[in-house]
Amino acid sequence: MDRLPGIRPRESVWRRLDMAARWAFPATTTALLLLLAASPLGLPGQAEAQVAIALGCVFFWSLFRPAAMLPVVVFPIGLLTDLLGYAPPGVGVLSLLLVHGAALRWRWRLTRQGFLVVWLAFAALGSGMAALQWALTAALLWRLLPPGPALFQAVVAAGLYPALAMLLTRAHQSLAAPERA
């Protein structure tokens, strides 16, 4: 422990629990949103919304709270996405890990830009991931699939991101300043 001057809060059990909850919040909310999207709501495009939620959450938290969205956290989220969406195992894992890596790589530039630039970057990344998932699923199933669902998935991801980002931004701000929560 360093001996720098200053006042530090006492390390209590409650402080440790608070820090653990703040660290686990991004992964937990992503998993809960995925489970909510997987519930039988009967909404059109619900499967595509699941993938869009996973992509949007991983992208957002990788940009704005990368210490809480590590690859070891992204992997089970991708596996959950595959299992809930009945996709071949590994497709969601690979695409979410690629989104995470791209968000980390672009983090320095994107966090200094306005929302429109971030949204356009996500839309381009979401389109690329939809194409990748389409190609991987077709390769793993050994048949050519129609591209319509992949295009629809890209549109849903781009369209859902602003609402998702608004909710996650509010959560992120309350995590950063708990006295305003």
167: number of Cβ within 10 Å = 14
Q: Is the pLDDT of residue 179 over 60?
A: no
Residue 5 located in a structural domain: no
Give a yes or no: residue 9 inside a domain.
no
Please give the C-alpha separations between residue 138 and each of 50, 61, 74, 93, 128, in angstroms, as whole numbers.
Answer: 19, 29, 23, 16, 15
Q: How far apart are CA 54 and CA 30, in angstroms?
A: 7
Residue 181 reports pLDDT greater than 50: no
69 in a structural domain: yes
**What's residue 3's pLDDT?**
64
pLDDT in tens, 66-115: 988 999 999 999 999 999 987 888 999 999 999 999 999 999 999 999 99
For residue 126, what pLDDT is reported?
95
User: In this structure, is residue 87 part of a structural domain?
Assistant: yes
Q: Which of 6-10, 21-25, 134-138 shows the lowest mean pLDDT across its residues?
A: 6-10
For residue 112, being part of any structural domain is answered with yes
CA 59 vs. chain centroid, Å, equals 5
Answer for the pair 180, 170: CB distance below 8 angstroms, yes or no: no
Exposure b/e, 151-162, CB count within 10 A at least 16 = b = eebbbbbbebbe
- Give the domain range for residue 110: 15-180
Do the beta carbons of residue 179 and residue 172 sit within 8 Å? no
pLDDT of residue 9: 66
pLDDT of residue 176: 63
Has residue 10 been placed in a domain? Answer: no
Helix (H, G, I), strand (E, B) or coil at 131: helix
- Rounded to whole angstroms, the Cα distance separating 57 from 162 reads 11
What's the whole-model pTM score? 0.88
Q: Indicate the number of domains in the chain.
A: 1
Q: Is residue 1 part of a domain?
A: no
Question: Is residue 122 in some structural domain?
Answer: yes
